[in-house]
Amino acid sequence: SLVGMNKEATVSLDFKAIHPAILLTWKGYSMREHDPYPDIQEIIIDSKLIARFKKYYSIDKYNPVRNIVKKLVLCLINADSVQCAVGSCYEDLKNDNLKKGTHQEHTMRYVGLPKIDLHEIATKLEVHNHMIKEYFGIGVGNKLQWYDSEIIMHCLDVLTVNKIPCIPIHDAVICKVSDKVFVEKVMT
C-alpha cells in the first residue's frame, strides 16, 4: 500500500465476497464451506491470448472466467430480476471489449473469454448457489450494503476503542502492518 501511518507501511484488508458471505450466513453456511464463484469448466478460454495480455501488461493473476462469474453473481444479488442481471453483464462484456486498443486496455477483465450464453451461466450459478438462490433477482443489494456498512462500523468502533488507527474504504480497512493480526481478528 502507498499509504503510511506513523512512518509505518500499511496493508489493506477486505472482506472477501461480503454480500454472498452475508447471504450464506443467513442460510447457515460459511464461505469456508462454499465458494459462491465456481470455476465453470465448459467455458474454453483463449490461453495464448491471455498469456500475451498478462505478459504485455505484467499481470500475475488473471482469470476472465472467474471475473465474469463474480460479476454475474453480484449482479444476480443486486438486480431486480435475473434478466436484468444478465443484461447488465452483457453490457459489461461489451464495454470491456471497447477498451481494446485504448489507454484503458490494461483494465480489461474478460480478455480471452469466448462468446458465452450468460443466461446459461446464470442457471449454473443458481444451481451452484442453491442455498442462496432465493435472493437472486430480487434486488437485495441495498439491504446488503446497509449490513456491510454496519459490519464496518462495528469494526471501526472496536478499533477506535483499542486505539488502532485505520482508514475504511467500502468493505476494506487500511491499517498498519503491525496491527494486521488484530484487525483481522476484529473483522472476523
Band of pLDDT at residue 81, cut at 50, 70 and 90:
very high
Residue-wise DSSP of 37-82: S---TT----HHHHHHHHHHTT-S---HHHHHHHHHHHHHHHSSSH
What is the number of residues in the chain? Answer: 188
**Is the pTM value of this prediction over 0.95?**
no
* pLDDT above 70: residue 110: yes
pLDDT of amino acid 2: 61
Q: Which grid coordinates are listed for 139?
A: 434486488
Q: Which grid coordinates are listed for 97?
A: 471489449
Least confident segment among 1-15, 20-34, 89-103, 154-168: 1-15
Q: What is the dihedral of CA 149, 178, 60, 172, to 10 degrees?
A: 0
Mean per-residue pLDDT, 107-118: 97
Band of pLDDT at residue 109, cut at 50, 70 and 90:
very high
